[in-house]
Amino acid sequence: MKIAVVGATGMVGNIMLKVLAERNFPVTEIIPVASEKSVGKEITFKGNNFKVVGLQTAVEMTPDIAIFSAGGGTSLEWAPKFAAAGTTVIDNSSAWRMNPNHKLIVPEINANQLTAEDKIIANPNCSTIQMVLVMDPLHKKYGIKRTIVSTYQSTTGTGVKAVEQMENERNNTAGEMAYPYPIDKNCIPHCDVFEDNGYTKEEMKLVNEPKKILGDENLKITATAVRVPVVGGHSEALNIEFDNDFDLAEIRKVLHETDGITLQDNTDTNTYPMPLYAADKDDVFVGRIRRDESQPNTINMWVVTDNLRKGAATNAIQIAEYLVENNLVNNGKIQHA
């Protein structure tokens, strides 16, 4: 099986290669793809070196699956070219997420929607993934009426320049600014660009994407997204109002039994999720579960995950695994190794 990783030299691309190796994905040939300035450089995969190729060369190599993490513009231009060549594209940008002709997939929730005809599949926003993984089982059991989400998002969500800005500030070193303000010792309530309604693009992703993934356009969601001086992962404070009352022990049981979720919820031992300890892990960690005492049928919780792994690379590779396991790649000609 030939797998292309588009954006292989970037922060998420590196994690994609790492996760492919860790999960022993059935790769017979890896094709690292990047912009022209990176062509000819070498990346290491499972102890072997591979030369980076350009996008056109990669299309001509007809990979079975191409996993994209190279920005929306690149995806809009090149994903259809790969698809036309018979390649199944899994795209990590926002380019195709809300397109009604393309599916937005979190494997634990809606991978069963996928067919062999789906040649461009959208990977959700990192903050959306951890939120919907919690919302899905609770919505099925209690009916979600309204969700308020406040995010505390890692600098890694912006990219390597943002991490370098924070490190430079900590070391008193001058350097390029990824943000309009200092990030170290600061919180910036500004993730992505502002839209006409006063919300940022990131906040509107959190409003719109869950409706598509959970298949419920009636969900009411409002969001505030904040960038914080953290590297390990994204954190979210969720306030969820249900149609029906609930038992806290039952909520914990439902979440504990949900694939991809690890419950860390014991205030007696100060056990709760933190991004420092979520780093390099694939699960979504949930804790601080408590009733909202200001109104009925409402709960508060704290949700953390590594945004580069489950929030991006791992989710994309789990989609690829589902495609292979269910014979949905290359017209069913490839069997799972």
In a 13 Å sphere around the CA of 99, the CA atoms on its Cβ side amount to: 16
CA distance 220 to 88: 33
Name the catalytic one among 102, 126, 139, 191: 126
From the centroid of its chain, how far is CA 263? 19
Sign of the torsion formed by the C-alpha atoms of 218, 219, 222 and 228 = negative
Name the catalytic one among 102, 139, 191, 234: 234
Known active-site residue 256: no
Nearest by Cα to 150 from 245, 240, 267: 240
List, as one string, the DSSP characters of 282-330: -SEEEEEEEE-TTSTTEEEEEEEE-TTIIIIIHHHHHHHHHHHHTT-SG
Nearest by Cα to 147 from 127, 165, 164: 127
Known active-site residue 191: no
Q: CB under 8 Å to 196, separation ≥6 — which residues?
A: none
CA distance 312 to 89: 14
- Catalytic residue numbers, as ranges: 126, 234
